[in-house]
Structure 1
Amino acid sequence: MRICLVGAGRVATQLGPALLRAGHIVSAVWSRTAASATVLAEQLSGAHSTTTTDLRQLEVEVVLLAVPDAAVEPLLAQLQLPAHALVAHTAGALPLAVFAPYPHLRGGVFYPLQTFSPGRMVEWVTLPLCIEAADDASQATLLALAHTLSQDVRLLSTEQRLLLHTAAVFAGNFTNHVLGISHALLQEAGLPFELVAPLVRETVEKALAYPPFTVQTGPAARHDAPTLARHQAALHAHPTWQEVYAAVSRSIQEQQAGRQPAGFDSGGGIRTFAPLC
C-alpha cells in the first residue's frame, strides 16, 4: 500500500520503518517541523517530506495520523487530505467519532498497543494492533495492513479500546512510575536497583501466568498493620508517595474483600470481548 505518515515522533519513527519492512511504500511524511519530517523521510527510501497542510495531491491509499492524541482533532480541521482518503489515527483513547465532522473522509483507527521510546525498537510481529473503522471497506483495508505487521490483530470498538488504553496505563505507565519510586528509595538508602530485579521479574511472570489478583502478596494483602505503618513512616519525606502507598494498599484490601471490578467472572478470569481477526 502507498501510505502517508502524518507525524514524525516516537510512533511514526518506528511505524514508518516497520511499514517499509513489510513491503509498503511510505510516499510522504508530514510534520509541523521540516527537520523532523526530513529526518524520518530519509529513512524511508526517499519518501517526500512536507510541512504544508494541503495534501490533496498525494496518491496514497492510507493516511496514518501518528501524532499525540490532542493533535488529532486540530489536524483534521487543518489538513486538506485526498478526497475519500482512508485516514486512521493511532490513539488509544480517542473515539472513532472524531471523524464524524468530515464525511468526505473514510475514518478509522490503527492503534498499536505498545510504549515507544527513543533508542528502543519494538517487536511488531507480537505487538497487538487494534482496528476500528467507519465502514466495511475501510475495516478490510486496515485489517490487511495490520496483518502485514503483526500476528495479533483485533477488532475493537471505541468503548473497548478506551478500557484497553486505561488498562494499559495501569500496566505500563503506572508500573514504570512505581518502579521509579522504588529506584529512588533504593538510591536514598545507598542500595542498587538490581536488588529488586529478581522480584520484579517474578512478579511480572506470575501476573502473566495467573489472574494477578489471585496471586497478590505483601503486607496489605496480609492486613499487616504494623508493617504498613512502618512503611508509611519511612516515606515521611515523600508525602505524595505516602498517598500512593496508602491508596494502593487500600485498593488491595478492598479488592480482596470481594469488590471485584467489572470484567472479571466468578472464577477470577478476565472475560474476553474482542475477536482476533
Structure 2
Amino acid sequence: MIFLSFHTWNPVQGLGAMEWVGWENYQLALTDPMLWQSLWNTIVIACLSGIPQHLVALPTAYLLVRLGARARHWLSVAFFMPYVTSTIAVSMIFYVMYAPASGIINKTLVLLADASLTQWAFAWVHEAMPIRWTQDNALIRYSVSFVVFWKYVGFNIIIYCAGLMTIPKDLYEAARIDGANAWQQFRYIALPLLRPFIFFAVTLTIIGNMNLFDEPYVLTRALQQAADNGMTISNYLYRVAWEWLDMGGAAAVSWILFGIIALLTAIYFYLFGRKGLEEHS
C-alpha cells in the first residue's frame, strides 16, 4: 500500500500501467475539498453516534447488573443482538423504515399527528411530509448516526457489564451503610473503577466510527443519494478506488485516514487513558 500510494494506477490497464508520481497523490488528496468534507462528515457522525452510545450504555449496564443474573443475561442478549446482526441487513431494514412515502417512521409520525392525544405535539408533521431521512442533506447525518448508535450500543453495554461485575459488592454495601443512594454509588464507586473499561470502549468507538462505511453506503443506495453530508472518508476512499479507478490515490487516502485515526487515538490516550490505566492496573 505504501508503494502503491506513490504511483498512479488504473487496475483495468494491468500492472504495466503503474506510473511513479511521488507525493502527487497525497498532494491531490489533501487539496481536494471532497476529502475534507467527507472527513468532517465522519467526525460529526462519529460524535452523534459515539457519545450517546456511552451515555446510554453506562447507566444501562449498571441497571442490568443491579437487576440480578437472570434478568441481566436475557436483557444483555437482547441488547447485543443488533451487534451480531449483519450490518448490511440492519442498514437495509432501516432504509425501508426511512422511506419517505411508505416507511414506518413517517407513517407513525402521521398517526401521531392525527391522534387527538398527541396532535398538539405533532401538528408540524403534515407540513413537513414527506420527510426524506436519507435524501435530505440536513437529515442524512442524523439518520446514519441513529443506525450506528442502535447497532453498537449493545456492544458497549456488554463491555460495561463485564467491568461492573469485577467491582466487589462489599464496596456497594459499605456505601449503602454510609447512606449513599443508587446514584451516588454509581457516581463515586462504579464510574471511577470503570475507567480502564471506558478507555477501551471509547478507543474502539473512535477507531470504528472513523472507518464507518457500510451504513452510509447502504442508506444512500451506494452513494447515489449521498449529498454533501452523507459521505464518510471511507466512502470517499471507495469512490476514488472503484468509481474513479485511481488505486494509487486511494492508497494515499487510506494512509491519510490511518494517520488521522492514529492521531485521534493518541490524543485520547494522552488525555484520558494513561491516568485511568495507571490508577487501576
Q: Give the TM-score range, shorter chain.
A: under 0.3
User: Which structure's residues are more often helix, by fraction?
Assistant: 2
- Give 1 or 2: higher strand fraction: 1
Tell me which of the two structures has the higher relative contact order, counting C-alpha pairs closer than 8 angstroms and 6 or more residues apart.
2
TM-score of the superposed pair, with normalisation by structure 1: 0.26
